[in-house]
């Protein structure tokens, strides 16, 4: 498996066409087919399913594509670094919770792009499941996590700030009129949780767990959909305060006065300790650290 084969595989996967890949790479179509066949034989798997004139990526092909893109991007970045290019190049894949991606990251991205336009950024939703594996394998270069800590000896993290959390419901919800809401008041309630904002929900789940406080669980893969349902009276949820501020000001959400401990979570920046840290990754971490720490101090 070499860089040329991976570039050929990436082109075929992009177009799902041997002919279009041959045109882009200026190869004969027979050469494209031979490279893909050699790659499949070396790996011992089929990378494409042939359906008449159409081709589709297999599950193994989809997995390889993630690694091929990272390896090709790393090769490009290495070439630029060794040749002493003045402008940073390469790409970064960053996992980020949806709330942070909407309310904290845009100024960071704008500043980084202004300084380093040659670096391609790719952001994906943060799911706690699989996060550590993605960092270890290099599929993900950096992650942000809303959590108090992360337990992994080979992962490093830095606390960038403390994110206040709030319990919110629709303005007509019965708990919106309470002077203080306690854990037992949530008994039998419908509680909506996000699967894309990582693990801050775990603190509330732990208090509710073990059958102590029965509740009805509803999960969403979109914070926007979750909030819309809460506004319409489906139930209540816990979110970063910054993600609810405008909705509370408009009166479409109501903050429930939580009587127990303060609801808050740390914003962690996480990376794999044992991997080589590229100049572009170092640069993004420095920009994110500086800007986010300043934002939390205000």
pLDDT confidence of residue 195 = 83
Say if residue 49 is in the same domain as residue 193. Answer: no
Q: Output 275 or 177, whichever has higher pLDDT.
A: 177
Instruction: Give the pairing type, strands 216-220 and 236-240.
Output: unpaired
If 0-12 CB within 10 Å is exposed, 13-18 middle and 19+ buried, where does residue 130 land? exposed
Say if residue 171 is in the same domain as residue 254. Answer: yes
From 290, 283, 293, 297, select the one nearest 112 (Cα to Cα).
Answer: 283
pLDDT confidence of residue 67 = 84
At which of 81, 96, 114 does a domain end?
81
Residue 294 confidence (pLDDT) above 60 = yes
**Taking residues 266-272, what's their average pLDDT?**
93
Q: Indicate the number of domains in the chain.
A: 3
pLDDT confidence of residue 80 = 67
What is the Cα 89 distance to its own chain's centre? 22
Are residues 257 and 181 in contact, defined by beta-carbon separation less than 8 angstroms? yes
Q: Is 35 helix (H, G, I), strand (E, B) or coil?
A: helix
pLDDT in tens, 116-126: 998 889 898 87
Range of the domain at 100: 88-161+266-297
**Averaged pLDDT of the chain:** 88
Say if residue 30 is in the same domain as residue 169. Answer: no
CATH number at residue 113: 3.40.190.10
Say if residue 148 is in the same domain as residue 270. Answer: yes
pLDDT confidence of residue 81 = 66
Say if residue 236 is in the same domain as residue 247. Answer: yes
At which of 48, 81, 114 does a domain end?
81
pTM: 0.75
pLDDT band (50, 70, 90) for residue 69 = confident
């Amino acid at each position: 498996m070499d860089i040329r084969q991976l570039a050929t595989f990436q082109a075929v996967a992009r177009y799902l066409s041997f002919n279009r890949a041959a045109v882009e790479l200026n190869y004969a179509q027979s050469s494209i087919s031979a490279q893909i066949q050699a790659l499949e034989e070396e790996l011992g798997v089929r990378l494409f399913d042939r359906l008449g004139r159409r081709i589709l990526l297999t599950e193994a092909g989809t997995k390889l594509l993630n690694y091929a893109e990272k390896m090709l991007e790393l090769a490009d970045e290495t070439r630029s670094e060794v040749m002493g290019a003045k402008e940073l190049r390469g790409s970064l894949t960053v996992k980020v919770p949806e709330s942070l991606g909407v309310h904290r990251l845009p100024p960071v991205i704008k500043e980084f792009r202004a300084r380093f336009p040659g670096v391609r950024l790719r952001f994906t939703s943060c799911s706690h499941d699989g996060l550590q594996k993605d960092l270890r394998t290099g599929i993900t270069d950096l992650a942000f996590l809303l959590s108090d800590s992360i337990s992994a000896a080979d992962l490093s993290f830095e606390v960038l700030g403390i994110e206040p959390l709030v319990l919110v419901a629709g303005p007509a919800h019965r708990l919106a009129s309470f002077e203080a809401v306690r854990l037992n008041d949530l008994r039998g309630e419908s509680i909506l949780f996000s699967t894309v904002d990582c693990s801050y929900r775990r603190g509330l789940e732990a208090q509710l767990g073990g059958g102590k406080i029965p509740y009805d669980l509803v999960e969403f893969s979109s914070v926007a959909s979750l909030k819309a349902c809460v506004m319409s009276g489906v139930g209540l949820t816990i979110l970063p305060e910054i993600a609810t501020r405008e909705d509370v000001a408009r009166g479409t959400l109501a903050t429930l006065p939580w009587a127990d401990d303060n609801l808050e979570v740390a914003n962690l920046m996480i990376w794999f300790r044992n991997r080589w840290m590229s100049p572009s990754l170092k640069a993004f971490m420095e920009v994110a650290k500086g800007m986010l720490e300043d934002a939390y101090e205000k």
